[in-house]
């Protein structure tokens, strides 16, 4: 995929800071069988490159567009969101942020480093960014710009982890859930924890709760084999989701993270087991998006439901410790944004340098062919010497305009490119056709007719020469 001169990197998204979980879950596309970027294409939205990230705390789209198409594209994009969410564009725009070019690049770097996460510096997000990139590659929506940009995201995240203490301590959403449970119950010793779901979040939660000294871990999952595998690793008990009402009678704390498209734990289900629990307090922490727990469950006596937004209070306690390291990380990110901007500028020069080189090479070939046609007695060695000579001359000639645009481009933007393109008529279709090399040039009797005719120069009168010299 080629890179045009006039492009915009556009990032459109919402996160835990800008939108409540009710809005985020509607745009998570977790229940969709069609990749969101394919959905956009099916709706007629046109973009050069695109990337889509959906996590518990954010939904982000990053596009590479033609600059002239940006406003129209945004209008169509929000029309698409409006249809998906059944919320007016005016209402939706309150939740979204829009970033362009340097700011978009900076934001992507910050996300990959965990600087924009609910838990500052949490490492899980990098894996989620990598997974989103793999999906973009699979669906062939990533190209020259996003490939480079996302690989730089991975590099910057690694550099920040190495050069700062931003990743110190085991901090993640799962860790925050464990901290919240300790805050509610005090000690977790002798407590039974039920994990609903057996994915990465559940695995991390297992590790944190076992470290906190819980009595037993129970794991319920739709696919029983995954629950068994996780239970075997952590010496717990495995159950299917069909057994969930029964398992709820045994738990003190429930951590739910299935990400199922509909509620897994309902008010009716929990109400039916309260007597069997002898009305012991039940604490449910829902860290799934879309939510696993029906909000009305919180209305039941001695049942306390917390969702992912409630974890913000726990996270705030860890925030101050990492704030200083985040400042150091931001310095690194600023450096890397500058480097990416420099690379992008060099990429913007590439079409002009390529066009100039190709045009001068075509001129060289044409002029050399005409000369060789006239010098028919040259040996192959002599012809080769002429080939090398003309190639060397062309390289020396184009060195100076290329040096000019590389030197001045950062200061003058596209002005230097425009000067060179105009000077060498690189945008002229007539010129491109005019200097196209004829096929079988050496054997063609029409060579001289097809090549551009030079205007015959008239001898200059001696008296005119004197005037010109004065």
Which residues are known binding-site members for NADP(+)?
A: 197-202
Residue 420 and residue 425: Cα distance in Å, rounded? 8
Structure tokens at 77: 């994009």
CB 258 within 8 A of CB 290: no
Q: How many other CB atoms sit within 10 Å of the CB of residue 376?
A: 6
Whether the Cβ atoms of residue 217 and residue 191 lie closer than 8 Å to each other:
no
**Whole-angstrom Cα distance, residue 107 to residue 9?**
12
Catalytic residues: 56
- Nearest Cα to Cα of residue 258 among 290, 304, 234: 290
Q: How many CB atoms lie within 10 A of CB 459?
A: 6
- As a dihedral over the C-alpha atoms of residue 60, residue 64, residue 67, residue 70, rounded to 10 degrees, the angle is -30
Residues belonging to the binding site for substrate are 55-58, 117, 122-124, 128
Task: Report the C-alpha gap between 209 and 218 in whole angstroms.
Answer: 11
What is the distance between the alpha carbons of residues 397 and 392, in angstroms, rounded to a whole number?
9
245-277 as b/e, with b when 16 or more CB fall inside 10 Å?
Answer: bebbeebbbbbbbbbbeebbbebebbeebbeeb
Q: How far apart are CA 53 and CA 443, in angstroms?
A: 59
> How far is the CA of 370 from the CAs of 90, 295, 367, 391, 398, in angstroms?
67, 83, 5, 16, 22
Asked whether 368 and 442 are in contact (CB, 8 A), the reply is: no
CA–CA distance, 248 with 259 (Å, rounded to integer): 19
- State the Cα torsion 383-387-389-392 to the nearest 10°: -170
């Amino acid at each position: 995929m080629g890179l045009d001169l006039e492009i915009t990197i556009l990032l459109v998204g919402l996160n835990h800071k800008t939108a409540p979980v009710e809005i985020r879950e509607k745009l998570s596309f977790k229940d969709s069988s069609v990749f969101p970027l394919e959905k956009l294409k099916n709706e007629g939205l046109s973009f050069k490159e695109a990337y889509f990230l959906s996590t518990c705390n954010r939904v982000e789209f990053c596009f590479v567009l033609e600059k002239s198409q940006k406003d129209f594209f945004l209008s169509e994009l929000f029309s698409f969101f409006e249809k998906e969410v059944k919320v007016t564009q005016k209402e939706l725009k309150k939740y979204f942020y829009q970033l362009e070019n340097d700011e978009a690049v900076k934001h992507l770097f910050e996300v990959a480093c965990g600087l924009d996460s609910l838990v500052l510096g949490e490492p899980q997000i990098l894996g989620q960014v990598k997974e989103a990139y793999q999906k973009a590659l699979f669906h062939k929506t990533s190209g020259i710009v996003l490939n480079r940009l996302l690989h730089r995201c991975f590099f910057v995240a690694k550099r920040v982890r190495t050069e700062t203490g931003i990743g110190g301590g085991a901090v993640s959403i799962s860790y925050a859930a464990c901290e919240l449970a300790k805050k509610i119950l005090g000690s977790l010793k002798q407590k039974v924890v039920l994990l609903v779901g057996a994915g990465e979040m559940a695995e991390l939660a297992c590790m944190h709760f076992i470290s906190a000294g819980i009595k037993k871990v129970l794991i319920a999952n739709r696919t029983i084999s995954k629950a068994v595998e996780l239970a075997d690793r952590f010496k717990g008990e495995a159950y299917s989701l069909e057994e969930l009402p029964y398992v709820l009678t045994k738990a003190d704390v429930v951590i739910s993270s299935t990400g199922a498209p509909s509620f897994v734990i309902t008010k009716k289900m929990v109400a039916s087991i309260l007597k069997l629990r002898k009305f012991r307090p039940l604490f449910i922490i829902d860290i799934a998006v879309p939510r696993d727990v029906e909000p009305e469950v919180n209305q039941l006596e001695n049942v306390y439901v917390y969702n992912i937004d409630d974890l913000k209070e726990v996270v705030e306690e860890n925030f101050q410790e990492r704030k200083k390291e985040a400042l150091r990380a931001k310095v690194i990110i600023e450096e890397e944004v500058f480097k990416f901007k420099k690379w992008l500028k060099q990429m913007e020069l590439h079409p002009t340098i390529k066009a100039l080189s190709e045009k001068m090479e075509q001129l060289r070939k044409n002029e050399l062919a005409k000369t060789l046609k006239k010098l028919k007695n040259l040996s192959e060695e002599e012809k080769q010497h002429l080939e090398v000579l003309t190639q060397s001359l062309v390289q020396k000639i184009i060195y100076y305009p290329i040096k000019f645009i590389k030197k001045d481009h950062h200061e003058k933007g596209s002005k230097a490119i425009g000067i060179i393109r105009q000077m060498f008529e690189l945008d002229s279709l007539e010129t491109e056709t005019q200097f196209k090399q004829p096929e079988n040039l050496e054997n063609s009797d029409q060579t001289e007719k097809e090549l551009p005719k030079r205007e015959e120069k008239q001898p200059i009168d001696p008296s005119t020469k004197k005037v010109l010299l004065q």
